[in-house]
Structure 1
Amino acid sequence: MFSVGSIVNLAISAILMTHFIKSTKMMNFVNSQFQSSTQLFSDEDTVYKTKQKNFVEGQNLSKSMRIEDEDFSHLSGTDYINALFFRRLKCVLNRGVYIKVAIISAIGMGLTLFALFFPLPNGETSFETVLYNAIPFLFYIFFFISVGRNVVQSMFVNCDVSVLSYPFYRQKQVIISSFFYRLKRIFIYNGAVNAILFFWIVVLSIVVVGTKAISFLWVILLIMLSLTLLFSFHELFIYYILQPFTTNFQVVNPVYKWANGLFYIFAIINLQIDSADMIYVVSLADVSLLYVIIGSIVISRVAPKTFKLKN
């Protein structure tokens, strides 16, 4: 007999496997297109190959960008540039959100139906244990479903590479304004997906233990909000601080890769945690908030010197 805990773990594995399969298919497609292009344009594709290697996510978003009529006459400067960029990227970003929401909803509905027919023997205590066991998986899941990396790469390819050469675009106030505008938009997209995930956790808790777990759901909400903010901020932060890309679409700053690598290693470490507790939840929430606060201060002081085109 399967328990709800084992089904939750299977569901988490299904989400991760779905993203892995999707990424694999996408990479196979990009590789096949790259190989055919190499055969046809072997003498002219040096920049193209480098672009494909370092900007896979950004390029996949760029291919689906659409130019749609919308009135931005009330905006000016970087607000206009960013609003136009996200408007053109809206279709592909929305499609990604819809796919993730559909997957989460299908799994959530399946778990809810399972809980109706196979209730937990110890009720509230068992369900709380299941949720604590699932909390460390959230860091790993959020690492993969965040749109941050895709949006950052697309920003450089379709926007920043063309305007970073202008001095006004590297002024302190312009950088701060642009950074927080982009952070807000990335947070909205990440938050939309994570809100659906939280919704199904609430539904499942009501089905399993009624309203008894409402107080514990605040713990889940705290950790999910913290992780949503953390992953929305992280990619954008290291992009502005390091700006590792050249006009030839090469990554010249190894620290950029190390920073992402450390986050991935931490995500793997979280998978080794059998069960979290309040110390884990509060610590992760505090670290996330401190990272965002300190990072925001660093952006205002360092980014005007580092956010520029690399040769």
Structure 2
Amino acid sequence: MPLPQPPSPPPLPRIGVVIVTMGTRPRELAALLASVERQDVPARRVVLVGNATPLTEVDTDATKLPLTENLGCPGGRNAGLRLLREAGDVDVVVELDDDGLLIADDVFRQVQQRFARDPRLGVVGFRVADENGHTERRWVPRLRADDPLRGGPVTAFLGGGHAFSMAMLRQIGLWPAEFFFGHEESDLAWRALDAGWTILYAPDLVLQHPRTSPARHAVYHRFTARNRVWLARRRLPAALVPAYLGLWSLLMTARLRSPAALKAWWGGFFEGLGTPCGPRGPMSWRTVWRMTRLGRPPIL
């Protein structure tokens, strides 16, 4: 009688890549595309999305997807994700900022292995570090950010370098394109957690990125305030909305030293209260408790 054969291991997930660019960083983009090409596990498909740029000057074998208008970071990423979803040959998608750089050649292999081990893994967040290996406090997806090398389950991820399960995206939907810029990661992360998916911070997976200030964007204070209000209105239980908005109003009023920045922030805050925020889908109290146990209740 033949001995029973051990079950075959599940196939490794197929990797896709989405990069969004406005065509303003040609040298950085070329270096990033080269680092993607060097990975020891090749991507099944790489999509380069041009936000209001034709991409005619970019020399690449990637699939080019030029957009006639700037849809913002989440809208541009959605265009790439839809293309991958329609192609049907990708299980995990890696999204990268166009001024980032993969400094190791085994990032895709490690991403592949992590998703293969855990079918409920929804998001893997990379560690973002500058050219000197330093990770800024705001780049660590925890409240206690003193040790950027401590990985594990978290409640948030950085939009500049991460990997998504396509099965998760089919369940929870894509980026909130109406946010345009700011807090789109929180909206997606909260939906993922509420649907039972895990978000993993993997500090050994590094995206090199120049140290910059998010406030360099002229719309930063307005959009982050507006989108924070939208986020609360869309995703929080009704009882937590006043606490969340009240706490952040106090924090930002104390933090912002510039009268112009404070004026822009409060303008965005009231814009968020007075404009449609999209469909409401508040998280369950079970998810509130899960996030609290992970170290970041959804009022912080």
TM-score normalised according to structure 1 size:
0.25
> Of Structure 1 and Structure 2, which has the larger fraction of its residues in strand?
2
> Of Structure 1 and Structure 2, which has the larger fraction of its residues in helix?
1
- Structure of higher CA gyration radius: 1
With a CA cutoff of 8 Å and minimum separation of 6, indicate the structure with the bigger relative contact order. 1
TM-score normalised according to structure 2 size:
0.26
